[in-house]
Each structure stands twice: as structure tokens, then as C-alpha cells.
Amino acid sequence: MVERRVMEGSHAVAHAVRCCEPDVVSAYPITPQTHIVEKISQFVADGDLKSNYMRVESEFSAMSASVGASATGARTFTATASQGLMLMSEVLYNASGLRLPIVMSVANRAMGAPINIWNDHSDSMGVRDAGWIQLYAEDNQEALDMTIQAYKIAENQDVMLPAMVCMDGFILTHTYEPVSIPKKEKVKEFLPEFDPEIKLDPENPLTLGTVGFPSDYMEIRHEQYQAMENARDIMPKVFSEYEEKFGRTQNTLTENYKTEDAEIILVSLGSIMGTIKEAVDELRENGKQVGAIKIKAFRPFPDQELIEGLQNAEAVAVLDKNITLGKKGALYTEMKDTLYSADIKPQMTNYIVGLGGRDIPRQSIKNIVQQTKDDLNNGQTREVRFVDLKEE
Amino acid sequence: MTKLREQEDFVSGHRACAGCGLALGARLAMKGVEQDSIATCATGCLEVISTPYPESSWEIPWIHSLFENSASVAAGIEAALKAKGDNETKVIAQGGDGATVDIGMRGLSGMFERGHDVTYICYDNEAYMNTGIQRSGATPLAASTTTSPPGKQSYGNENTKKDALAIAASHGVGYVASASIAYPKDVVEKVKKAAELDGPSYVQIHVPCPTGWGFKESDTIEIARLAVETALWPVYEMENGEIINIRKIKNRKPVEEYLEKQKRYKHLFKKDNGQQKIEQIQEIANRNAKTFELDK
């Protein structure tokens, strides 16, 4: 029997962590992530989770302690958001370079200044080159599922890279939804014990984290690049295996929603996909040929899936909850790169939405579709549009 | 004299400069750790000289992560060992003075305060040597470094050395000690004591740097001994905040004898009013002698 309960996203993730039984959890509070590490500390306090729970003095140490623990062969979990993720950023590159399969929840939150605790993706997009696998959850169930899947992907011998599961701050972390909680025993069948070949062990002393000279650095980086490419192949297998066991999730790095005959396709990631799907449904009722593609994995980036999904689209509207100053939204620029190697050349527009927690109602999504349609009819488009910007 | 353990955990073949005090300090420190151990190391000379990929001078499991997280990584290792039921393997964190008293202080403080069973060893050569002799918080008054040079309006480093031992002690760290490579057996014994303690411990070893301080490679031990004999580097140990042992000095030497042998203080003997700075340094030595009752 699967236990189905109504709970906030943070607690859903905490339950996933409980089922994965990390040896070490290093925790530092930051809004809107805090409920995750609070709930885990309660599990530990109640004896429901036998992790060594470290209450560290900063996010920098949260990630550094994770590096030490993971290098010792321990399954490791931590969580953060926004400024905390930035404080970790130096260590993020290190965790990846040392090939440590740490799993971390990121409760996506805007970057200051101005200080803002609400949701957008500026934080995780800012560290997209740190060498971490990045998964983005649409809802609380997916945040739970992806956390378990993340361990299985990260700890694969051909991958051995850290993974962050991104979930929208407040929108998911603090919102109650019904969630199916798997049985711990069943998760154990899916996720074997972590026992890496290379670890800090007095029985077999190894030196980790050496100086990499120009004569070797590039080869080591190339191996890391290859590992991320391996993740691209391994992820669908993990998703399939998860589906067999728990009856959820599709096996792809993207999810296509009513795209087959769609003239206009909206592409985005995270919780906004729920609103997008509802808007698509309503527009479909009015005869509009609209569809949507959800990006589940931003790293590795699902190039092939996107090319296939967008095959018949005349226009693509990319919704970014971040802005790369001096360029465009991160998702948009990556998608343009993806499509350059494809035969298709749909009209593309970058819609910047929801920065710093600005609400994105269904009507705004519909407006985006209308705008895209108008551009198609006019045969011209402005590449970047900030959505629902207040007039001066 | 007690015979030192034959086993070497930090072996030769590394790339340290001739006469390197740090390499000797690390070798001695490792001789003090008799149980199975895992070591961390901050970015710095020690890491660079000992692990040019694919070579290593370490016979024990060893990890370098970053500059400022040696203590935090060590804390994570200790947590992992405990989680796996291993209460025997000792965790040794290592860092230079910059990694310890400057950039790594937050993580070190957290590791102390949480009470991890980690022995932290600071190899103190009183500046950022690996990057080319820049001033750190452990650089002594008036020392010339590449970022605290003497000039028309400068007598070298403007500040006095940060007291990291007092900071460690104020955390309630069970064992805190200073040591000098001039007294090898003392280094080994202190690290041994630190490693045997259940809980955090801190040992700061004074390791003169011929390249950075400007003295002959053959004089490393003599310079180290003069720092102790002038009372500029008091050698003592503390248990639970109480000083329990002090290396007394017979016939304390004037600081000039130490300063004049190093290029980093050369300007004090040439510049107008340089003597005033030397007197200030002598006052620091006098204060140390009084505080720690160093004079025999």
C-alpha cells in the first residue's frame, strides 16, 4: 500500500530523504528551504531516520561537510536556496570535480539586491555551470520522486556527479498537496546502499583533490563532461525503473503536453508548468492549437528531446523565471543553441516572467500565447518581453 | 630520548623548497598520529608540494577540497565515520596560517563549537607563501611581505599577529598547543596528545620559511629556535582553557638576534626610526614572557 497524505512540498522532500536514508545530513536554515531541514531534524529526533545530522554554521560549511562525508563513502543530503546557494558556489564546483554524488534540494528563490525571499530561478540558473545535474520539479509529488531518483542517477558508477533537485520556493515548498509517500523498504529495493569504489579509507589510502597541471587538467574535465553525457543516457532508465516500481513519472528528460498538432508551443520548467497546462487546456477548448513542453532536466540539457518535441511548431514561447543580464533568459539562450543544429527554425520569443515572486496568473499565459500568435501573423517579433511589467 | 615512530605518513619526494619548515612540520605532525587516520588539507604550500597529480606524498587517505574548508570537510568526514559506526579512525585537518586564522576561521569555529573529534593542525609560516609571500592575519608586526612592504611611509606589516590559540581555547577546545619545529619531539608528542583526545583539538606549529622570510636554507631550525628563545613564539599547551605546560626560556635573547637574521625585517635596521619598531617588537616579546611566565 502506498501512503497518500496531504502535505507541503518541503515535507514531501523530507519524506523522500527519510526513505533514502543518507548517512549524513548537513543543514543550515534559509527561507524558503528551512522546512525541509526542520522536518528532517524531527525525523532524526524521533528515531525515524538514523542520519548523523550536522547543524553547521553556514551554507559554505554545509556543502564542505557534504564533500567530506561523501568522499568518505557516506550518502549525503543538504538543502539551500538563493544566497545560500551562492555562498556554496565555490564548493559546488569542487563537489562535482571530486565526483561526489551529493544530493541537494534547492528551494528556488530570487537573488538580492533587492533582497527578496520569493520565487524565481536566478539562484540555480546562476550555478548551472557548476557541474551538477539539475532537475526541476513541477509539483510536490515530483519533488519527492526526483529526490529519490537523483540519488540513483548521481550514484551511478558511470555518472558520479552531484545532483540538485530544484523546487519553487513557497509555491511548492509551502503549499499543501496530496502526495504518495513510498514505503522505505521499497525505496531500498530501488536504491541500493551507497558503496563507492573510491573513498577515504585507511584500509586503502588514496589521495583525493590533487593539483591538476595543464598536462592533465583537461583530460580530467573531459571525463567529467563525459559523466554528464552518461547521465543523459542513464536518466531515462532510472525514470523507467522508478515508474515500474512506484507507478509514476515519464521516462524522458522533457514532458510533452498536447504538442502533436500544436502551432505554438510554450516551453518552461518548474511549478509554472501547472498554470501553463491549464491555460493550454482552456485555449484548446477554444480551438487554439497550443501545446507545452516541460523541461525536467536542465543539466544535462535535453537537446534531442526538444528538437523532436518542437518538430512541427511554428512558434516557440520560452518562459524564463530568470534573466541573464546582458543576454536573455537562460532557458531561451540554451534552446536557441539546441535548435541551431536542428532542421527546424520556429519563431522564438523569450518571455521573462515571475521574477522575485511576481504572480503569473493563467491570463498572463494566455496573453503570451496571443502575443506569440500576433507575432506569427505579423511575421516579426521582439526577442525578449518582460511579462506584466508595471507601466511607468 | 624517546624514539620516534619509524612509520612515515608524509614521505619524501615532495616538491618543497630546500630548508622548508612546513615539510618538516608536517612530517613530524604525522608521526604523532599513531591511530588509523584520514587527513584533510587546505589549499596552500603543503597541498601543492605534496600532491602534483598523479603523485602523492601521503601514505594515509588524504583530501584537498578548497582553501577555507579544511575544518568543515574534516567535520563531514568525522560525521560520516560516526554514521558508519567507526569511532576509531582519527580525522586530522591541516591548513596554513592564512587558511586557518583568516579565510577558514568560520569553518574552524563551527568545527570547534560542534565538538567534532578532529585534530586541527595549523602550520604557521606567518604569511601566504604559496601565492608569493602576502601578509596574513598571522604575519607579525613590521614584517615585510609583498603586500606589506616597507616604504617611505611604512615599516612593513602594521598589525600584530592574531592569537588563534586563544580563539581556539575560547571555544572550549579540550586541547590547544603551540609548538615549534625546533623541538621535534615536542611537536610529535603534542600532536599525539591532540589526536588521542576525544573531541576537537588544535595545534599550531611555527614553521619558518626560508623563501618567504629570507634566511639561509640551512638555518631553518636555528630561526625557529630563536623565535622561541626571544619569546616571540611562546610554546605551551592548554587543557580545557588552562595552561598546563610551558617551555621555559633560560637567558631570554633580545629580539634583534632573531630579526637581524631575516630579510623580512632588514628595513628595521636601515630605516630612520627602525629602532622604535624593534622596541615595539621587544615589548611584544616582554609581554609574552610575562603572560606565559616564560623566563626561567
Is the pLDDT assigned to residue A225 strictly greater than 90?
A: yes
Residues A285 and A342 in one domain: yes
Q: Tell me if B47 and A202 make a contact (CB, 8 A cut-off).
A: no
Closest chain B C-alpha to A124 CA, distance in angstroms: 21
Indicate whether A381 pLDDT > 90.
no
Q: What is the mean pLDDT of residues A243-260?
A: 91
What rounded mean pLDDT belongs to chain A? 97
What pLDDT score does A196 carry?
Answer: 97
For residue B86, the distance in angstroms to the closest alpha carbon of chain A comes to 11
Q: Do A320 and A238 belong to one domain?
A: no
Q: Is A3's Cβ below 8 Å from some Cβ in B?
A: no
* Share above pLDDT 90 across residues of chain A, in percent, rounded to a whole number: 96
Cβ-contact B130, B43 below 8 angstroms = yes
Chain A residue numbers touching B56 (CB-CB < 8 A): 207, 210
Residue that finishes a domain, picked among A219, A246, A273: A246
Q: Which of A60, A65, A211 sits opposite B79 (nearest CB)?
A: A65
Q: Are the beta carbons of B203 and B236 closer than 8 angstroms?
A: no
Q: B256-275, pLDDT tens digit by residue?
A: 999 999 999 999 999 889 99
- Chain A to chain B, count of Cβ pairs less than 8 Å apart? 158
Tell me whether residue A391 is in a domain: no
Closest CA to A43 of A90, A11, A85: A11
Tell me the chain A residues in contact with residue B11 when contact means C-beta distances shorter than 8 Å: none
Which of B58, B81, B171 is the best residue to mutate to test the A interface, defined by the most A CB atoms within 10 Å of its own CB? B81
- The pLDDT of residue A37: 98
Output the pLDDT for position A15.
98
- Confidence class for position B5, pLDDT limits 50, 70, 90: confident
> Nearest Cα to B159, choosing from B144, B176, B146, B142?
B142
pLDDT at B165: 98
Can you point out the beta strands (E) in chain B? Answer: 37-41, 62-64, 90-96, 118-124, 150-151, 154-155, 175-180, 201-206, 236-239, 242-246
How many domains does chain A divide into?
2
Find the mean pLDDT for residues A44-56. 98
One domain for residues A262 and A208: no
Looking at the fold, whether A76 and A107 belong to one and the same domain comes out as yes
Q: What is the pLDDT of residues A230-241, one digit of tens each?
A: 999 999 999 999
Instruction: Quickly count: other Cβ atoms within 10 Å of residue A33's Cβ.
Output: 30
Give me the pLDDT at residue B3, please. 78
β-partners of residue B139 are: none
Q: Which of A68, A208, A220 sits opposite B76 (nearest CB)?
A: A68
**Among A208, A228, A246, where does a domain finish?**
A246
Taken in order A169, A338, A88, A162, is the CA torsion positive or negative? Answer: positive
Asked whether residue A342 falls in the same domain as residue A195, the answer is no
Which of A55, A74, A216 comes nearest B83 by C-beta?
A74
Q: Is the pLDDT of residue A25 over 60?
A: yes
Cβ of residue A197 closer than 8 Å to a chain B Cβ: no
Three-state SS for B143?
coil
Q: From CA B31, how far away is CA B33, in angstroms rounded?
A: 6
Give the minimum alpha-carbon distance from A197 to chain B in angstroms, rounded to a whole number: 14
Average pLDDT over residues A88-102: 98
| B38·A202 Cβ contact <8 A | yes
Q: Could you list the residue range(s) of the whole structural domain that residue A7 is in?
A: 3-246
pLDDT at B1: 54
Cell representation of residue B22: 612546513
Q: Which three cell numbers stand for residue A261?
A: 498538432
Which residues in chain B touch residue A74, judged by CB atoms under 8 angstroms apart? 79-80, 83-84
CB contact under 8 A, B73 and A64: yes
Q: Residue A149: enclosing H or E segment and its boundaries?
A: helix A140-154
Query: Most B CBs within 10 Å: which of A60, A77, A211, as the mutation test of the B interface?
Result: A211
Q: Tell me the chain A residues in contact with residue B51 when contact means C-beta distances shorter than 8 Å.
A: 207, 209-211
Note whether A224 and A346 are same-domain residues: no
User: Edge to edge, what strands does the sheet with A384-386 contain?
Assistant: A254-257, A290-295, A264-268, A315-320, A347-352, A384-386
Q: Do residues A230 and A351 share a domain?
A: no
Query: Which of B36, B64, B65 best tests the A interface by mutation, with the highest count of A CBs <10 A?
Result: B65
A151 and A199 inside one domain? yes
pLDDT tens string B207-249: 999 999 999 999 999 999 999 999 999 999 999 999 999 999 9
Share of chain A above pLDDT 70, in %: 99
Residue B136: burial class (beta carbons within 10 Å; 0-12, 13-18, 19+): buried
Of B40, B58, B76, Cβ closest to residue A24: B76
From chain A, pick out residues whose CB is under 8 angstroms from the CB of B106: 57-58, 60-61
**Cβ–Cβ gap A68/B63 under 8 Å:** yes
From the CA of A151, how many Å to the nearest CA of chain B? Answer: 17
CB-closest option in B56, B72, B81 to A207: B56
- Report phi then psi at A240, rounded to 5: -60, -45
- Residues A30-38, mean pLDDT to the nearest whole number: 98
For the cut 70, the answer to whether the pLDDT of residue A118 exceeds it is yes
CB contact under 8 A, A202 and B40: no
Chain A: closest CA distance from residue B140 (Å): 29
Rounded average pLDDT over A307-318? 97
Residues 6+ apart with CB under 8 A from B29: B10, B92, B94, B121, B187, B188, B191, B203, B205
Q: Is the pLDDT of residue A1 over 80?
A: no
CATH of domain B21-292: 3.40.50.970
A276 and A235 co-located in one domain: no
- pLDDT tens sequence across A173-203: 999 999 999 999 999 999 999 999 999 999 9
Å between B56 CA and nearest CA of chain A: 7
Domain-terminating residue out of A213, A246, A279: A246
Helix residue ranges per DSSP H, A247-390: 272-285, 303-309, 330-340, 362-378
Contact A54 B79 (CB under 8 A): yes
Average of per-residue pLDDT across A145-167: 98
Q: What is the pLDDT of residues A329-355, one digit of tens each?
A: 999 999 999 999 899 999 999 999 999
For B45, the closest chain A residue by CA position comes to A211
What pLDDT does residue B185 have?
97
Give the pLDDT score at A24: 98
One domain for residues A122 and A213: yes
Q: What pLDDT score does A164 carry? A: 98
Residue A342 located in a structural domain: yes
Q: Tell me the CA distances in angstroms from B269 to A260, B257, B264, B281, B284, one per residue in order.
A: 85, 12, 11, 13, 18
The alpha carbon of residue A207 is apart from the nearest alpha carbon of chain B, in Å, by 5
- Computed over every residue of chain B, the mean pLDDT equals 97
Q: Quote the pLDDT of residue A2.
A: 67
CB contact under 8 Å between A68 and B75, yes or no, is yes
pLDDT value of position A248:
80
> What chain A residue is nearest to B76 in terms of C-alpha separation?
A65
Minimal CA separation from B82 to chain A, in Å: 8
Q: CB-based contacts of A338: which residues, under 8 Å, 6+ apart? A: A301, A303, A306, A307
pTM as predicted: 0.97
Using CA coordinates, name the residue in chain B closest to A217.
Answer: B53
Determine what percent of chain B is predicted with pLDDT higher than 70: 99
Q: What is the pLDDT of residues B127-159, one digit of tens each?
A: 999 999 999 999 999 999 999 999 999 999 999
Average pLDDT over residues B89-94: 98
**Domain spans of chain B?**
21-292
Determine, yes or no, domain membership for A40: yes
Which residues are bridge partners to A53 per DSSP? Answer: A25
pLDDT at A251: 87
* CA distance linking residue B225 with residue B250, whole number of Å: 13
Asked if residues B47 and B64 have their Cβ atoms less than 8 Å apart, the reply is yes
> Which of B11, B14, B45, B53 should we substitute to test contact with A (largest number of A Cβ atoms within 10 Å)?
B53
What CATH number is given to the structural domain containing A382?
A: 3.40.50.920
